[in-house]
Amino acid sequence: MTDDFPNLLSAGSIGPMQLRNRIVMAPMGDRLANDDGTVSDRQANYLEARARGGAGLLLIGSVAVSYPSGAYAPCQTAISEDRFVPGLAALADRVHAHGARLAAQLVHDGANSLFDIAEGRPMLVPSKPPRLRPDALSAMVTPSEMAAMIRPFTTPTTATSYRVAEADDIAWLIDQFASAAVRARRAGLDGVEIHGGHGYVIDSFLSPALNQRTDEWGGSVANRARLLCEVIAAVRGAVGDDLAVWCRINAVERYRDHGETPDDLVEVATLAEEAGADAIHVSAATDAGAALGVTEAHTPHEPALLVPFARLVSARVDIPVITVGRLEPEVAEAALAAGDADFVAMGRKLLAEPDLPNLLAAGRIDDVRPCIYQYRCIGNIFLNEPVGCVANPATADGDEPRLPATDSPKQVLVVGGGPAGLEVARLLAQRGHGVVLAEAGPRLGGTLTLAAATDEPLERFRRWQIRQIEQAPVEIMLGTAITPLIAAGLEIDEIVVATGGRWLPPDEIAGDRWADADPSTFTLRTIADLSSWVFGDGDGDGDEAVGHDVVILGGGKIGLSLAGLCARRGRSVTVLEPGEVLAPELGPPGRFRLVHDTEQLGVRLITGAAASERPDAEGRHQTVISTMCGPDRSLADELADLLAPLGRPVHVIGDAAGTGRLEAALADARRLAQSI
């Protein structure tokens, strides 16, 4: 056992609930329930994996106290009727079997009840909300994403209307929460979190921007907090002292005038404590029309952004405080040691690595698969899809190590040591196959070799992949270019080609205007060229190789990351993207953040770009970097021509097959490893 995380891994309690450590799986809407609101097998596998992985407490996110009214979708987990209890009880048994505790985050979605919109029901609100006005950046979505996002608004029964809560509605709402808590206790859950944040119905009463009432439910902080406090009191009265009861509230509301403030947070927290809450979970909210809001609120891009707010509450209440928001284990440990909070909620990290707590306890922090902040998790929820993760394609399907062992071990040659090749080699070895990994270059990592300079989380993922393959029973051959004759001489049963795509030179993309006719222009065409500049190694000319003006062809994730790197090194940078959407491989919140941050560095971003839009270098040294990539099956085809007739199948995955992004490459690798 390690002594590196004495606070994070120490036991603790919230009310009557005893926890083995201070790691809480943050409540996240997962869209994994059945379409009748009951717990699905897939959802149970997903949650059990995090219990098996060592988390102290799992929170089922967004459990509807009213269903279908007041819910965001048919697949939202519900607890509004007795019929939901058996599934929750079975889930609790599975979680408890691994020593973890289980709680439900109770919510009524209020003005976020997309299911009500789809079926034409009025949404319950304290006051009629202002019209949603998305900003310009929010429109940077692909046509398929837009279709998915507006799906609830396109049903034959769609209607948007509101029901301003009257006394009977408020009494009914309070009773719904209390009844839901009773069912949670009957199901064997250990606690309930009352969701008073993120714009849901209780928060809409708390927010001065959304609550325009002049009666006892509006106006002062105490009046606006009355619903939350009465819900807490009613829940406590219904379940007694043997169930932990706490609430999640906002520290701030981003991009909303006259919203909740840190002063409100402290007052609401003290009122919640007086009402009987066992803990306070400090989060943040945002106006839904602000593209950057999510990454500055409950799912922050800036590490530890919300910890100072937890510190404010910790100084004023005598009950535990839970903090959340991009907290690496070392940072979480420091926050607990400083007394800023008592528990740390981790969402994205436990999606990427369900075994994170156990690995920390075993002193194996380098084996924790890192979150790479691509925002596929919450991005999928935006698109009305189940939760996902770029780094871990198995996130929603349970624990990855449970891949079945093979009944017929084979010898497999994997050609290419980029992310797809590393992943398929690791998984094949995990299943019991003999694996040889051949990489033509001097290092493993492929395109991720650029991550050290362009994106630190991706560099951590590259190191993680390499560490896993070095620890696996895989024979690694660096500097080894595989030809059909070499492959034919190896004792192998199957071959996987993961050599990456072909980086398209500028003149091939857009004609002679992009050729290197001008001596002031130098074109980087390959990963090797880029690596030489980024790392100053190989035969490149180092920093002098890249001119004052940089033109990047392709506005995907790698294009924007390289643009940021060039801008930080003092270059004038223009990105030309033929399509209308930049970084389409990222989940929408992460895309919005990356585009904004890149523009803030002074990078000129041009979408719908044509060849005629090449900026004039005006006599200055200009460098053109192509980040556009096409499939390259040439080696695979040569291998197949020679080896397939001999009964040695050849498979192609990743960019070599035209996949075109990390998420799909890793998913390709997993599917293939399962099939061999």
Rounded CA-CA distance 463/444 in Å is 9
Cβ neighbors of 676 (< 8 A, separation 6 or more) are 406, 410, 412, 428, 431, 433, 494, 651
Provide the CB-side half-sphere exposure for 478 (13 A, CA): 10
Structure tokens at 409: 């071990």
Q: What are phi and psi of 14, to 5 degrees?
A: -125, 110
Rounded CA-CA distance 130/621 in Å is 52
What is the DSSP track for 246-290? EEEEEEEEET-TT---HHHHHHHHHHHHHHT-S-EEEEEEE-TT-
In a 3-state reduction of DSSP, which class is residue 63?
Answer: strand
Q: Which residue has the tokens 């909740």?
A: 260
In a 3-state reduction of DSSP, which class is residue 332?
Answer: helix
Q: What are phi and psi of 476, to 5 degrees?
A: -105, 130
Number of other CB atoms surrounding residue 655 within 10 Å:
29
Nearest alpha-carbon partner for 111 in 133, 91, 127: 127
Burial (CB < 10 A; 0-12, 13-18, 19+), residue 22, is buried
Structure tokens at 370: 């890192």
Residue 200: active-site member = yes
Provide the CB-side half-sphere exposure for 224 (13 A, CA): 25
Choose the catalytic residue: 46, 67, 72, 200: 200
Identify each DSSP E strand in 362-416 by its residue range.
411-415
Quick one: DSSP state of residue 72?
A: S
**382 residue type, one letter:** F
Task: Indicate which residues carry an active-site annotation.
Answer: 200
